[in-house]
Amino acid sequence: MGKRNGARKGARRSGNPARREAERLYSGNVLGERMYAAAAPRAGVQPGAVIPVGVPGLPDSIVIRGAAESDAALLEPVIRMADPDNADGSWLQLPAAISQSLDPDKYTHVRVAEETSSGALVGGALALPAPWALTHPMLVGSPNAHIAAGLVADLDSLAVVEEWRGKGIARALVAEAEKAMGTHEEGKFGAAVMYVTHEPELTDFYAGLGFTLSPDGIGIPTPAGFICHGPTKDYRISVKPLRTGVQMQPMPTPYGRQLVIHGVLPLPST
């Protein structure tokens, strides 16, 4: 099976039709332009510094690179392995995701693992701003939703074809996603943490990459209260800091015992 890490979007949707429509309009199946529509001032300083990321060694014939628009058709069946039972998965939006990945002003990143002698794509990863921030009750309709989404990176899809598994490709794709989401240009914010929604059997895989399993989801303290996000039934959430200023601790919140994450929000400029 693939490195499935995304709860099926059909299962993630709210039972409220109006809410589902709001999710569709705000996220465009996660990857729509509305994610980037709000212009908001970004005054502030992020706590700590970007944590350096080392990329594991790969077989000589494998390279990891940014996806090109011409990769969409070949990459689709690879990414689909991350969520094979979902007819509404992220693979449907790959052309839009790749286009945004090529735009330096967007925070979506698509990476591919290519076997150089044949040109075959043997793995892929999709990372993007946290889509749930755009419909969170504390954030919906506010420019802060777009800021919060960019500060919390979502490793949405990760897959490697069967014959190339066990060779470090998935680990390298995750490392490349961390680097892409955590770094930023001067005057912009990078992601402070990366989370992944995954099946229970992948807990050890992500723990080996430095991710911490969250009991009942994640909670980000703000002056207005906790911004919380939990996993879909039968799935887990694991989180990894991308900056030295991030501190994570399991604590009780109004929504259960969650991994409370400090150091995500920027500090006021001095």
What's the 3-state SS for 162-223? HHHCCCCHHHHHHHHHHHHHHCCCCCCCCCCEEEEEECHHHHHHHHCCCCEEECCCEEEEEC
Burial of 59 (0-12, 13-18, 19+ CB in 10 A): middle
Do 258 and 228 contact (CB within 8 A), yes or no?
A: yes
List % helix, strand, coil for the chain (3-state, nearest 5): 30, 25, 45
| pLDDT score at 68 | 97
- What is the spatial distance between Cα 229 and Cα 233, in angstroms, rounded to a whole number? 13
- DSSP H or E segment with residue 17: helix 17-27
Query: What CATH number was assigned to the domain covering residues 22-30+45-262?
Result: 3.40.630.30
pLDDT value of residue 93:
84
Task: State pTM to two decimals.
Answer: 0.82
Q: Which residue has the tokens 């995750």?
A: 174
Q: Where are the domains of the chain?
A: 22-30+45-262
pLDDT, one tens digit for every residue, the chain (270 residues): 334 443 333 222 223 333 333 333 333 333 333 333 334 444 578 888 999 999 899 999 999 999 999 999 999 999 999 887 777 777 778 899 999 999 988 889 999 999 999 999 999 999 999 988 888 888 887 777 888 888 999 999 999 999 999 999 999 999 999 999 998 766 678 999 999 999 999 999 999 999 999 978 999 988 777 889 998 888 999 999 999 999 999 998 888 889 999 999 887 766
DSSP string, 210-259: T-EEESS-EEEEETTEEEEE-PPTT-EEEEEESBTT-EEEEEEETTEEEE
